[in-house]
């Protein structure tokens, strides 16, 4: 049996970059997005790209062509993913006019389901 220290020293992912933050930056994606059963993989990736563009702001305005190129899909697919994010109220889109990029507001709307115990207590108290 291995000692805990040996186990903790084992790594299965190695990051080769002198400083990953300054090399290309990074994007944190909320777990409720990653684990969402209602979002497609493309919508999750599009949301992550919005976060990467809006890291220091509350909004962003990348073109759909740029987004499509960055995630390796067609512009039409990006449009589909954005509409999906709008339906879930995770992104708000403001159309700025012909030839201009849209303004995207990234929204955090994490909703935690009540625990089973809390649901049972609620049922008991209303009975």
CATH code of the domain occupying 4-122: 1.10.10.10
Q: Confidence class of residue 28 from pLDDT cuts 50, 70 and 90? A: confident
Nearest to 90 by CA among 26, 28, 32: 32
Question: C-alpha 110: how far from its chain's center?
Answer: 11
At residue 36 the predicted structure's pLDDT band, cuts being 50, 70 and 90, is very high
pLDDT exceeds 70 at position 107: yes
Average predicted confidence (pLDDT) for the chain: 80
Q: What is the number of H-type helices and E-type strands within the chain?
A: 7, 3
The structure tokens listed for 1 are 């049996």
What pLDDT shows up at residue 26?
79
d(CA 115, CA 113): 6
- pLDDT given at position 22: 62
Long-range (24+ apart) CB contacts under 8 A made by 63-67 are 63/101, 64/102
Q: Are 90 and 109 in contact (CB under 8 A)?
A: yes
Radius of gyration of the chain, Cα coordinates, nearest whole angstrom: 20
Binning pLDDT at 50, 70 and 90, where does residue 61 land? confident
For residue 106, name the pLDDT band (cuts at 50, 70, 90): confident
């Amino acid at each position: 049996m291995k000692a805990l220290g040996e186990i903790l020293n084992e790594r299965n992912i190695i990051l080769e970059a002198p400083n990953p933050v300054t090399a290309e930056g990074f994007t944190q994606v909320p777990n409720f997005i990653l684990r969402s059963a209602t979002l497609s993989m493309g919508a999750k990736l599009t949301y992550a790209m919005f976060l990467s563009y809006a890291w220091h702001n509350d909004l962003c305005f990348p073109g759909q062509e740029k987004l499509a190129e960055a995630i390796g899909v067609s512009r039409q697919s990006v449009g589909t993913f954005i509409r999906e994010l709008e339906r879930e109220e995770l992104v708000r889109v403001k159309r700025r006019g012909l030839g201009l990029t849209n303004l995207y507001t990234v929204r955090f709307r994490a909703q935690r389901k009540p625990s089973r115990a809390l649901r049972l207590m609620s049922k008991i108290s209303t009975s």
